[in-house]
A = this chain, B = another copy of it.
Amino acid sequence: MKLFHKLGIHTLFFSSKDKRLASSIKMITGRKPLNLSLYRLALTPAGLSEESHQGFRISNERLEFLGDAILGAVIAEHLFKKFPFRDEGFLTETRSKLVNRETLNSIGIKIGLKDTLELVIDSRQFTGNKSLYGDILEAFLGAIYLDRGYQFSKKLILSRILIHMDLEGMITTVSNYKSKIIEWAQKENKTVEYKVIQINGNQRFKEFVVELHVDEESISSGKGPTKKKAEQDASKYACEKLGLLN
């Protein structure tokens, strides 16, 4: 079957609709799909899926889960290598900003998934949710991974997805939680104090536990190997609690 695919013999049996779909996919990935059904599944949003005999709903959501993981790994390596002097907090946060729903959605449209979806469904009859093309993009990456392997997916993500992500712009907005809290407190006219309440470990290894007090009331705590990191950690939780992250 694999040889069959490699020689392209399976394409002889493609309907004209399949052929159009296959060339649309080639436009996106640069290579003909080996297993077209994977891509067709990636182009099946949950809202459009039909129930199979066993009551199992077949949609692209499982592929989305897989694609999200592959995308996460590739972006992780890219950031790891691009920023050799930044800590893991920066890397984690930059990645989550890069792969957020809105960004993925607009990239999905840019690389042509909207047009490709229209080859499969009658989109006039279909209103997807807001992140429809982002979800499809992730599912599509899952399909590509299963169809062509990790190296191929990685190259594709780096050359055709990442270029649409405004990495430089994002970095400047990656937040300093502590400064967010302090800014907020100034605006709200509240006092802020970070209190070290515990130091674990010994001379060589330390773990600081810090409590963040707003108007003399503890609102969060955090920990880390340095006081600064513990303060950031506590501030992060406080930002979440106070809804300052949007």
Residues of A within 8 A of B (CB): 45-49, 54, 56-57, 59, 61-62, 64-66, 68-70, 72-73, 75-77, 80, 85-88, 91-92, 125-129, 142, 145, 150-151, 154, 200-207, 225-226
Contacts and interface: CB of A to CB of B under 8 A. Distances in A.
Contacts of A72: 69, 72-73
B80 A47 contact: no
Contacts of A145: 77
A145 B105 CA distance: 30
A41 to B, nearest CB: 12
B80 A92 contact: no
A202 B150 CA distance: 38
Contact of A62 (B70, B88, B126): B88
26 contacts: A45-B205, A46-B225, A47-B201, A47-B204, A47-B205, A54-B85, A61-B87, A61-B88, A62-B80, A62-B86, A62-B88, A65-B80, A65-B91, A65-B92, A66-B77, A66-B80, A69-B72, A69-B73, A69-B76, A80-B142, A125-B203, A126-B202, A126-B205, A127-B200, A127-B201, A127-B205
Contacts of A75: 69
Given A57-B87, A68-B76, A128-B205, 4 more contacts: A70-B73, A77-B145, A126-B205, A129-B207
